[in-house]
């Protein structure tokens, strides 16, 4: 489940969620709207806080982000071609 869906489902405002995690509202706002990726530690905290309803992978692999088709991990823009080339060479 996306973080935005989780917050809407549980009627939690982004400001309140940020306060619960001890984060700045703007940081959570960017993560919720998929403008920035959280550090892995924060992604883990969000997942734990939501009882794994929001999975760590969901915080990284949204519609605007590229994920490896094999493993599902987020791939940086510059390394996308290298990753695909490496997979094809196997």
pLDDT tens by residue, the chain, 90 residues: 889 999 999 999 999 999 999 999 999 999 998 888 888 889 899 999 999 999 887 887 655 556 665 555 566 655 544 544 445 554
Report the pLDDT value the prediction gives residue 84, as an integer from 0 to 100.
47
46 token code pair: 């969000």
Helix (H, G, I), strand (E, B) or coil at 1: coil
Report the pLDDT value the prediction gives residue 80, as an integer from 0 to 100.
45
Report the pLDDT value the prediction gives residue 22, as an integer from 0 to 100.
94
Report the pLDDT value the prediction gives residue 52, as an integer from 0 to 100.
93
- Label residue 76 left, alpha or beta by phi (over 0 means left) and psi (-120 to 50 means alpha): beta
Does residue 60 contact residue 7 with C-beta atoms inside 8 Å? Answer: no
């Amino acid at each position: 489940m996306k973080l935005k869906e989780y917050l809407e489902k549980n009627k939690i405002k982004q400001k309140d969620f940020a306060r619960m995690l001890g984060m700045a509202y703007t940081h959570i706002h960017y993560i919720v709207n998929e403008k920035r990726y959280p550090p892995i530690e924060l992604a883990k905290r969000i997942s734990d806080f939501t009882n794994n309803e929001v999975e760590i992978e969901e915080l990284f692999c949204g519609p605007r982000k590229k994920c490896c088709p094999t493993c599902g991990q987020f791939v940086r823009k510059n390394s996308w071609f290298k990753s695909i080339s490496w997979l094809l060479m196997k």
